[in-house]
Structure 1
Amino acid sequence: MSFPNPAEVSVDEKLAAFDSVPLFMKSLPDDYGNDAAISALQSLAHEGTPDEIAQNFKSQGNDYFKGKRYREALAFYTQGVDAKPTDPALQEALLCNRAACNLELKNYRSVLNDCSRALALNPRSSKAYYRSASALAALQRYEECLDCCDRCLTYDVDNATVTILRARVLGLKEALEKRLQEKEDKTRQEQREKQHLQAAFNARSLVVMHSPKGTPENPYVPHFDPEDLSNQTIVFPAFFLYPQYATSDIISKFVEDTPFSAHIANMFPPQAPAPDWDKNGEYVDGRLVIYAMTHRRRLLKVGKKMTLRDVFKAAQPKEGDPGDGLELKDGCLTFVVLPKGEVEREWIDDFKNNRFRVA
């Protein structure tokens, strides 16, 4: 057989070339045809007592493991186990070595199975405990991992690798427990805030509604004003609808104690250019009127100096009347803004005739 020029191939390629030579093969192929050399070696591999055969496969597996060729090493250890040696120490070694291969290959369930078998043979197998603990750590089964380490250290007190693993896993366990506790605390706090917010909605007679197709993603949600330390003031997102032109604006943070006039003055100052959609230049502060609609379709005219809190009170039902209030749909309030005069009167007529619907 001719080998490639050493300068042109890597070490791994050189080893692979040797593997194709029967004399140097680490494993023998099942389908070797009429190759007499391979046939002879195949027979030799299975000659001797079960212990001798298993020891031979173990030695070959060790060679591959040292070269970090874990899959090949695993195959040899498996052949050693399948040879059914009678020596318990040899059985234990093969199982522990195979577990070491599976640990490198991240086959953690197989590691646990082999280590369990090894411990049945030798309850004081430190390698089996260490590899079990390593697999359990990788699976984040920290309590079981620590139990393995503790069992091993009861008789192998000075085992440095197990001691180091135990310390590392104890730190991981504590960190995980801290994260879980923080997550639980956050969930509990969010639940309390949600309940507090719902109680505040009820106090304001808000009718919470959701879209039939589910709540759309909305970056603006009602929340308590962080500047109010008493936690009594709510900030709402609010739509201002302009039905005359089928368009709208959103006030992302409408503090409920802020008067509507402050937003209108900021959005439609007299000296500023009209919005592109305002064809007739009618939407100017001082010439506009705002309406709110309740759940039971009562129409409320919003005075300039009124705040959201004032509108909430105005929308509440009178004593003895059916429940009513402003609708909070998908977390947003909705108001209609119109120019005073003919447009306003036409819209009110449409609303009364049931032709207007809030989207």
Structure 2
Amino acid sequence: MESKNTAVGPQPLSKELLEEKLAAFDSVPLFMKTLPGEETDDAVLAALQDLAHDGTPDEISQNFKEQGNEYFKGKRYREALGFYTQGVDAKPTDTMLQEALLCNRAACNLELKNYGSVLRDCSKALTLNPQSSKAFYRSSLALMALERFEEAIDCCTRCLSYDQDNKGVHAALERASSSKAQKDKKEKERQERLQREQAAKLQMNIAFRQRNLIVVSQEDSSNPYSPHFDPEDPTQRTLILPVFFLYPQHATSDVIPEFVEDTTFAAHLSTMFPPQAPPPEWDRNGEYVDGKLIIYAMTYRRRLLKVGKNMTLRDVCKAAKAKEGDAKDGLEVKDGCLTFVVVPKGDVEVKWVEEYKKTKNGQNA
């Protein structure tokens, strides 16, 4: 029986093996990406170094430019940039060659996102040739990447003043104009939002002064509640504030997230502690019942105000105002909230008031 020869075609290489074989070419003088900058004992390398720098500055620069072009076509931008740089460093006397090297190096830096280098090279190219379309075009792309749209538009406009049919520059101008319009719109919206916020803040500050409310802290950014005007009041005269009710002997509290200032305290207490309802878990003695509770407000100057159950929040704000000739006083707003103490009538109330006065006197001593 005759044996059959099975033909085996080219086999694909793994990525690692392919990179290894390509890297091996870098040690072969004719395939090197760049020539060594230091002296070498390799005769072939030495000859290539001499050859690369053999000739006039223009010839040397042209040689490096052509090598850079080959690498650029292969999308090997870093290697291409190195050749263009060597071409620039050779100091050619031909201004067109200088311009081309600078513009080509700018193209590499565009791909590498080195936008500052792009602008520097294009600026040098425009010094050599004020009508360098490539320099204007690449400058506009770099400026757009940096969101400097007005300058990008200026570059395109200058270029089109003498190169009217340049499609690339027309496209760049359209992109820059559209991006600038979007940026301007966002900035306008941001400014309008800031103005609204500032106006609202000013209006709130005026409302606080009118109600003798004194901000003592605004650090708790996690507080989901904040003072605001009643959205159902078109005159913007009714304030709504979050209010804490503290129960000191139980070290606990309740929050009323939206206390309308014209609402009475009795309305909230009757809802929170109705006589027929079971007491809260923390009120083991059943002391917190509507009709048997007293509310106190503490002012900025440590005055203690007894709040009648039929008083509104606006009434308490008026009562907290300092007497004529005394230092400024009012209710404290801490982290956007007002705080009141609620205690049962009788011994608990008396004990708490005495302790508060002791603390007040201790602070004033």
TM-score, scaled relative to structure 2: 0.89
Q: Does residue 1:269 correspond to 2:274, yes or no? A: yes
Q: Which runs of 5+ in 2 are unaligned?
A: 1-9
Q: Which residue of 2 aligns with 1:48?
A: 55
* Alpha-carbon distance between aligned partners in 1 of 2:37 and 2:321, rounded to the nearest angstrom: 86
Match of 2:220 in 1: 216
Q: Is the 8 A contact 1:350 1:356 kept in 2?
A: no
Which of the numbers 32, 38, 44 marks the counterpart of 1:37?
Answer: 44
Contact 1:209-1:329 within 8 A present in 2 as well: yes
Contact 1:317-1:325 at 8 Å conserved across structures: yes
Contact 2:107 / 2:118 at 8 angstroms: preserved in 1? yes
Query: Number of matched residues?
Result: 351
Inter-partner Cα distance in structure 1 for 2:51 and 2:132? 32
- Specify every segment of 5 or more residues in structure 1 that has no aligned partner in the other structure, as ranges: none
- Matched residue SS, 1:209: strand
Is contact 2:71–2:79 with CA below 8 Å preserved after alignment? yes
Matched, 1:193 2:197: no
Structure 1 residue runs of 4 or more that deviate by more than 6 Å after TM superposition: none
Cα separation, 2, equivalents of 1:110 and 1:145: 16
* Cα distance in 2 for residues equivalent to 1:330 and 1:19: 67
Paired with 1:12 and 1:130, the residues of 2 have a C-alpha distance of 36
Q: CA deviation at 1:61?
A: 0.7
Provide closer, same or farther for how the CA distance between residues 6 and 19 of structure 1 changes in structure 2, counting only shifts above 3 A: farther
Matches within 5 A, 1:315-334: 315-319=320-324, 322-334=327-339
Deviations 1:302-347 (Å, cap 9, x if unpaired)? 2223221121122234555554322223322110001122101211
Give the root-mean-square deviation of aligned CA atoms. 2.3
When structure 1 is superposed on structure 2, of 89-98 and 49-58 the one drifting more is 49-58
Residues 302, 360 of structure 2: 8 Å contact kept = no
2:98 is the counterpart of 1:91:
yes
| Structure-2 change in CA distance of 1:322 and 1:52 (3 Å) | closer
- The one-letter code sitting in structure 2 at the alignment partner of 1:78 is T
Indicate which of 164, 172, 176 corresponds to 1:165.
172
Which segment is superposed worse, 240-249 or 73-82?
240-249
Q: Partners of 1:322 and 1:144 in 2: how far apart?
A: 57
C-alpha distance 272-61 of structure 1, shift in aligned 2 (>3 A): farther
**Helix, strand or coil at the partner of 1:353:** helix
Deviations 1:255-276 (A, max 9, x none): 2122222322333334444333
Give the residue type in structure 2 aligned to 1:79: Q
Question: Percent sequence identity over matched residues?
Answer: 64
CA–CA distance in 2 between the matches of 1:338 and 1:38? Answer: 96
SS in 2 for 1:244: helix
- Report Cα offsets for 1:195-254 as digits up to 9, x if no partner: 1111111111222222xxx62323322111222221111111111111112222222221
Structure 1 length as normaliser, TM-score?
0.90
Instruction: Give the C-alpha shift of residue 100 in structure 1.
Output: 0.4
Specify which of 22, 25, 39 is matched with residue 29 of structure 2: 22
How far apart are residue 31 of structure 1 and its match?
A: 4.6
Say if 1:239 and 1:251, in contact at 8 Å, map to a contact too: yes
